[in-house]
């Protein structure tokens, strides 16, 4: 086995000087089995994607259940047109909601993360834990008074309400991500600032912020995806006239008495496109956000 470990990448398939034939065969069989399993799982994971794509291009002629898994007989774009007409206003509203929400909560998270990790004070850990708890609460436990509070404050339902909610309830996770990141910043860097007599705000502004770009990317992506995919706040704080795309998609898919799967599946793909693009283009940062969800980072 140690031979395998030290083999440079790219030549693992070659029969290197392995005298122990059984070991090599076992290794080869094991590797083949592993790949077979991994490919099988890829196919299983992609089943819903296949269904979405195929169904979204199907016309009325493919309605029979016996053709459920077949490719379309006549490829049509009607479903996509229908979905675009139904969802495009909501998609624009979602952008208007998600972008400011992501930016503001990233700023707040960065300030908190800095203070809690590198300009700490007694009791900072307790404060951090109290902030963190906000990430885990079921929002159902605040929803009724939240509705009354927002109504009482006269904040219009739809985009304005949702921006505020995503900012506030995004604070715990953004604080966590920034704190974990700043903890990897050497103490000396901050201390050097202190010795030079720089105050906290100057240290934050001129030392910490410039090196924060990677975690800003992680946090912005995380908040963007989270707010884009949110349905709970959307249901309680917006309507089909002013709500985001998840609400519009749900109405499209579950509204009519007879379901038009072609249109709703095209809609599901449309609604997923922005977060999927982010995942494909910036996957590394996306995973970075996921990891910090595990508290210890």
Partner 1 sequence: MRHRLRRLGAPLLLLAPSLILLGVFVYGLIAANFNTSITDNHTAAQATGQEPVTTVWFQNYIDLLGSDDFQHSLTNLVLFTVVFLVGTMVMGFGWAWMLDRPDRGEGFFRSIYLFPMAVSFVASGVVWRWLLNSNQGESASGLNRLFQMIGLDFLQNNWWNNITFGITAIALPAIWQLSGYVMALFLAGFRGIPEELREAARVDGASEWKVYRLVLFPQLSPIALSALIIIGHMSLKSFDLIMSISKPANYQTKVPAVDMYVFKSSFNYADAAAVGTILLVIVALVVVPYLVRTHQAEKR
Contacts (CB under 8 A) with partner 1, residues 79-138: 108, 111-112, 114-116, 119-121, 124-134, 136-138
- With CB under 8 A as the contact rule, the residue among 29, 201, 256, 281 that binds partner 1 is 201
Helix (H) or strand (E) holding 186: none
Distance CA 285, CA 217 (A): 7
- Phi first, then psi: give them for residue 14, nearest 5 degrees: -70, 145
The distance of closest approach from Cβ of residue 166 to partner 1 in the complex, given in angstroms and rounded to an integer, is: 12
The distance of closest approach from Cβ of residue 121 to partner 1 in the complex, given in angstroms and rounded to an integer, is: 5
Q: What part of residues 1-60 is at the interface with partner 1 (CB under 8 A)?
A: 1-2, 5, 9, 12, 31, 34, 37-38, 41-42, 45-48, 51-52, 55
233 contributes a contact to partner 1 by CB under 8 A: no
68 contributes a contact to partner 1 by CB under 8 A: yes
The distance of closest approach from Cβ of residue 238 to partner 1 in the complex, given in angstroms and rounded to an integer, is: 14
171 contributes a contact to partner 1 by CB under 8 A: yes
* Pick 69 or 75: Cβ nearer partner 1: 69
Q: Which two tokens stand for residue 234?
A: 């959307």
Q: What part of residues 238-267 is at the interface with partner 1 (CB under 8 A)?
A: 246, 249-250, 253-254, 261, 264-265, 267
The distance of closest approach from Cβ of residue 125 to partner 1 in the complex, given in angstroms and rounded to an integer, is: 6
Distance CA 108, CA 219 (A): 11
* Pick 76 or 297: Cβ nearer partner 1: 297
139 contributes a contact to partner 1 by CB under 8 A: yes
The distance of closest approach from Cβ of residue 13 to partner 1 in the complex, given in angstroms and rounded to an integer, is: 8
Q: How many CB atoms lie within 10 A of CB 214?
A: 12
* Pick 99 or 147: Cβ nearer partner 1: 147
The distance of closest approach from Cβ of residue 130 to partner 1 in the complex, given in angstroms and rounded to an integer, is: 8
Contact yes or no for 211/185 (Cβ under 8 A): yes
Distance CA 228, CA 124 (A): 32
Q: How many CB atoms lie within 10 A of CB 59?
A: 15
237 contributes a contact to partner 1 by CB under 8 A: no
Q: Is 230 helix (H, G, I), strand (E, B) or coil?
A: coil
Using the Cα atoms of residue 169, residue 170, residue 171 and residue 173 in order, give the sign of their dihedral.
positive
- The b-or-e profile of 241-258 (16+ CB within 10 A means b, else e) is ebbbbbbbbbbbbeeeee
């Amino acid at each position: 086995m140690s031979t395998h470990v030290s083999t440079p990448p790219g030549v693992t398939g070659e029969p290197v000087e392995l005298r122990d034939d059984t070991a090599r065969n076992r290794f080869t069989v094991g590797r083949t089995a592993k790949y077979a399993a991994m490919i099988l799982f890829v196919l299983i994971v992609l089943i819903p994607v296949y269904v979405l794509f195929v169904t979204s291009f199907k016309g009325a002629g493919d309605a029979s259940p016996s053709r459920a898994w077949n490719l379309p007989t006549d490829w049509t774009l009607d479903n996509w047109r229908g979905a675009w007409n139904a969802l495009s206003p909501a998609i624009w509203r979602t952008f208007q909601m998600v972008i400011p929400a992501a930016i503001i909560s990233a700023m707040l998270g960065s300030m908190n993360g800095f203070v809690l990790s590198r300009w700490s004070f007694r009791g900072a850990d307790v404060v951090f834990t109290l902030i963190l708890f906000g990430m885990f609460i079921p929002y159902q436990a605040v929803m009724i008074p939240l509705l009354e509070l927002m109504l009482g404050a006269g904040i219009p339902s739809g985009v304005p309400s949702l921006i505020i909610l995503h900012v506030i309830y995004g604070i715990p996770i953004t604080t966590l991500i920034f704190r974990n990141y700043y903890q990897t910043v050497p103490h000396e860097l901050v201390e050097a600032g202190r010795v030079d007599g720089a105050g906290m705000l100057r240290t934050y502004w001129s030392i910490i912020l410039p090196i924060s770009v990677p975690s800003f990317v992680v946090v912005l992506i995380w908040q963007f995806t989270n707010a884009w995919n949110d349905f709970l706040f959307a249901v309680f704080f917006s309507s089909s006239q002013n709500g985001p795309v998840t609400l519009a998609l749900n109405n499209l898919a579950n509204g009519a008495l007879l379901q038009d799967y072609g249109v709703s599946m095209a809609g599901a793909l449309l609604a997923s496109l922005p977060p999927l693009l982010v995942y494909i283009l910036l996957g590394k940062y996306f995973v970075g956000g996921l990891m910090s969800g595990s508290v210890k980072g």
